[in-house]
Amino acid sequence: MKKWLNPGLWITLLITVAIGIWPIITQEAAKREVIFTVLMAIVFASSLNILLGYTGYVSFGHVVFFGLGGYVGMYLIKEYEASIWLAALAGGIAAGLLAFLLGKAILKLRGAYFALVTIGVNEAMRAFVNNFQPFGGPIGLELNFKVYKPYGGPADALWMVYYATFALAILVAVLSYAVKQSKFGLSLMAIREDEDAAEVMGVVPHNAKTWAFILSAILPGVVGVLFFFKNGNIEPAGAFRLHYSIENLVMVMLGGQGTVLGPVLGAFGYQRLRGFLVTNPIFKNIQLSIAGGLLLLIVLFIPAGAVGWLRNRFPRLRRVLS
């Protein structure tokens, strides 16, 4: 019971709730859209953190789970008039299944080879969906307006998707805390530090890594369905955008890889900064360069990220930040 009273969990939850509740109080649609991208990034980045931060495997093409989940969900909604909840569940299962099958094959690769092969998987999937007629090929799938009717029309459906994403963000915070505190999480971190030594100590790396990969894939798949349902359409270039994976890696790095709070702060900080730069008249044209410059500074000088830096600098904070 004691581990559930740890401030590390509650601070993370408090911050996540504080981020998500803001548009609900003000009931502004514009704020909701801004925070929606933050919450989506929290779900994606925290999931990625299970693989990247805890296990030490760099998945560059992680967006493949987001895209595949989105496609499966949208297909069910469009062709079989499935409810959004069933579709989201199916998207998560599809992503988890892909991770299971892929994990069997590619998790034996280490370091940069693993990173490269995940890029290859994402690009192969994008090229495949481009040719896959049931998913609409290069045009993709577009939802008819009437699918929003059962949820009280488009306006209400957008709010409903927002609440669902908010719930997912809270769920992912609890999940990443639970994994970190568990024996399973400990074996992941042992793999990160030294895979061969972990194996000698009785960890079965292949099983642990495969489970970490599956866990990190499911929620991006679910949130993919929510995102594309909200947008009303999906097409290959938008679904399998390698850049989005890398942005999420940046968020994890920014906040602190391997920490529970890190990806939440990183997602919030990165998305807000990006929002500021894109809309600012001075930086608008050069926003990519500024974001790149900041990233470079962080990678070079604060590689542990914000939370990691705080924990190293002020050892007392280790008790309250996890």
Partner 1 sequence: MGSSGLLTSLIDGILIGVVYGLAAMGLTLIWGVMNVINLSHGTIIAFGMFGVYLIFTTLGLNPYLTLVLVAILGLLLGVAIYFIAIQRVIDAPHLSTLLATFAVNMILLGVGTAVFTTNFRNVDYALGNIQMGQITVLGTRLVAALAAVFVAGALYFFLYKTRPGKYIRAVANNRAAAELMGIPSTQILALSFGIGTMLAAIAGGLIATLFPFTILSGGVYELKSFVIGVLGGLGNPIGSLAGGLILGLLESIIPIVMPNTWVPILEFVLFIIILLIRPTGIFGAKE
> Binding residues for partner 1, per CB under 8 A?
52, 56, 58, 60, 105-106, 109, 111-113, 115-117, 119-121, 123-124, 126-128, 130-131, 138, 246, 249-250, 253, 257, 285-293, 295-296, 299-300, 303
Q: How far is the CB of 295 from partner 1 (least distance, A)?
A: 4
Q: How far is the CB of 238 from partner 1 (least distance, A)?
A: 16
The residue (of 121 and 265) whose beta carbon lies closer to partner 1 is 121
The residue (of 125 and 321) whose beta carbon lies closer to partner 1 is 125
The residue (of 19 and 121) whose beta carbon lies closer to partner 1 is 121
Q: 3-state SS string over the chain?
A: CHHHHCHHHHHHHHHHHHHHHHHHHHCCHHHHHHHHHHHHHHHHHHHHHHHHHHCCCCCCCCHHHHHHHHHHHHHHHHHHCCCHHHHHHHHHHHHHHHHHHHHHHHCCCCHHHHHHHHHHHHHHHHHHHHHCHHHCCCCCEECCHHHHHHHCHHHHHHHHHHHHHHHHHHHHHHHHHHHHHCHHHHHHHHHHHCHHHHHHCCCCHHHHHHHHHHHHHHHHHHHHHHHHHHHCEECHHHHCCHHHHHHHHHHHHHHCCCCCHHHHHHHHHHHHHHHHHHHCCCCHHHHHHHHHHHHHHHHHHCCCHHHHHHHHHCHHHHHCCC
Q: How far is the CB of 304 from partner 1 (least distance, A)?
A: 11
Q: How far is the CB of 117 from partner 1 (least distance, A)?
A: 5
Q: How far is the CB of 302 from partner 1 (least distance, A)?
A: 11
The residue (of 279 and 289) whose beta carbon lies closer to partner 1 is 289
Phi-psi region at 203: left, alpha or beta (left = phi > 0; alpha = psi -120 to 50): beta
The residue (of 76 and 253) whose beta carbon lies closer to partner 1 is 253
Q: How far is the CB of 153 from partner 1 (least distance, A)?
A: 37
The residue (of 155 and 278) whose beta carbon lies closer to partner 1 is 278
Q: How far is the CB of 157 from partner 1 (least distance, A)?
A: 34
The residue (of 21 and 296) whose beta carbon lies closer to partner 1 is 296
